[in-house]
Structures are given as C-alpha cells and as structure tokens.
Amino acid sequence: MGHDHDHLPSEIRHEKPLWWALGLTTTFLVVEVVGAFWTNSLALLSDAAHMATDTLALMIALVAVRLSRRPPDARRTYGYARLEALGAMINGAMLFVVAGYILWEAIARFRQPQEIASTGMLVIAAIGLVINLISMRLLQAGSGESLNVKGAYLEVWADMLGSVAVIVGALLIRWTGWKPIDPILAVLIGLWVLPRTWVLMREAINVLLEGVPKGTDVAKVRAGLGAHAAVLDVHDLHIWALASSTPALTAHVVMRDGTDADALRRELGARLHEEFGIDHVTLQIEADHCGEACGQPVKHDHDHGHDHDHDAQGHHGHVHR
C-alpha cells in the first residue's frame, strides 16, 4: 500500500530570529571593518573577520531554511533537509580560512609591532559586544535543534568572546602601551574558535555520510526491537539522520508464526518513538521461515552485495508518527 510521507519540519520556528541577527550583524560589520583600519588593530580586524563569517553563516542558514521547505520531488525524494549540513560545512570551512589568515598576520605583527588607536578600538569593541549578546539571545533557542543555527550561534559566541578580548586588550594597551597585546589577543581568539569549528564540521560530516545520529546506540535499538515477544530476529538495521534533528530507521524484522504483521509494525514503531525518539521508521516484517520450533534467529547471507529475495510472506510497512 502507498503512503505519502512528509519529511519536512512542521514549522520553521527560528527563521525570524535569524533575520534579526543578520540585520544586526551586517550593520555592525561595516562599522567594525572601517574601525579596524582606522585604529590599525589586528585584534579588531580579527573580530571583524569573524563578524563577516557570521554574516555569511546567517545568510547560508536562511537560504537552507528556505530551501528545506521545498517538498520532496522526483529527483530528491527526501527533500532538501540536508542543506543544513552543507551550510554548516561551508561555515566551518570559512572559519578555518579566517583563523588561518589572522594567525599568519599575527606572526608578522609580533616581528614588527604597530601603533594602535586604543580608544577607538575600545569603543568599537564595546558596541560589538552589545550586538553579539543580542544576536546570541536570538539564536540560542534554535542552536540545539539545527546544525545551521548552531553554526551561526557558534560564530556569534566566538565574536562575543572576541569583543570581550578586544575590550580587555584595548584597556591594557591604553594603560601599559605594550603593543604585542594586540596580536596575542588575535591568536587567542583564533585558537579558541578552531576546535569548536571542528566539532561543528564533524557533526555535519556525520549527517552527510549517513552516520548514526549523535546520542543513538544501535545495539540498544536492536535489542529494543528484539525484546518484543513476537520478534525472532532483526537484520539489515540502518539508522541515519535526514537532518540534525530528524533520525530515520529501516530494518527487516522476522516475526513468529501467527503474528499480526500490521499490529507488530505499529507496536515496534511506538516503541522506537517512546524509547529512542525515532519517528521516521520503515520496517519490513518477514515470516519465520524456520518455524517457531527452531528457537533460533533466522540467518541471512549479507556477503558481497547479496540481494534479499523476499517472497509473498514478506510484509513491507512504514511507521511514521
């Protein structure tokens, strides 16, 4: 029997905060770039560069959110949900490039320290801190649900720390006159951002490679399915993520003789939902070819691309909640 399944999120809850954060970030980016050259501050330029990646990250997130609304079609039957992972990969790559540039420039400034307009540096960094705190507040709610929003939130978080560092640096330069403080702060900002950027990219790569979603234990899921009294064996179990917050599962389940296949499928779907938070489920229910008297799970040959030829006793089913 046919089913029409919608893989898109029921609502896009975080689009409006993304627009607000984009407007604030873009406005301040112009101010900070001008200010960085005016004050000749590498730390401020480092912060401005991160602010530029924030702007691009927010743009990418919004484009991905918009495109993810498009329904599945004949060419992309799962829709466009994975665009968020692609967006997160682009954001991470940009952060690596920016951090590399800042570290390279900092080395040159260690060799030849330059004059810094500490007062202007302080004022611009203070304005940036306020903008970043507002943007963080706007994005915080969605950072745990979407890789795109998480990427944007991470970049704004890094900028917030960068603004704090620049403020402290401006005060220290003003009080002590020690010029190397500026490149030192730039390096510290870059080194703080890089590990967190790698974590974001690793999560995005896992989604693109159809890896097991974070926090999901395949062995426990298999055991949960096999614990049902009517289940003899579970094989061809696959768990992956359509998007960062949309786990999916397919499996072949061998049932005992006399079992109602449709009822079993519904019960297993409910168990997956309640115990593991997996709602997009496709189960193929198979008859017990061996007979209940065997008392052993049915063995299947999976070697070298073996095709599973399921006869008329096999039942295909989809469970979606």
What is the rounded CA–CA span in Å between residue 268 and residue 281? 9
* Count of beta carbons in the 10 Å neighbourhood of residue 182: 30
Contact 147, 203 (CB under 8 A): yes
pLDDT digits (tens, 9 = 90+) for 303-314: 444 444 444 344
Is it the case that residue 11 has pLDDT exceeding 70? Answer: no
The answer to whether the pTM exceeds 0.75 is no
Whether residue 95 contacts residue 155, with contact meaning beta carbons closer than 8 Å, is answered with yes
* pLDDT, tens digit, 9 for 90 and up, residues 195-224: 777 877 888 888 888 888 888 899 999 999
Residue bearing the bigger pLDDT, 121 or 238: 238
Taking alpha carbons only, the member of 167, 126, 120, 141 closest to residue 21 is 141
Q: 29-63, pLDDT tens digit by residue?
A: 888 788 878 877 777 777 777 677 677 777 777 77
φ/ψ of residue 285, rounded to 5: -95, 125
**How many CB atoms are located within 10 Å of the residue 232 CB?**
23
Reduced to 3 states, what is the DSSP secondary structure of residue 311? Answer: coil
The residue count for the chain: 321
How many of the other CB atoms lie within 10 Å of CB of 177? 10
Phi and psi at residue 131, in whole multiples of 5°?
A: -60, -45
Alpha carbon 318 to chain centroid, angstroms: 27
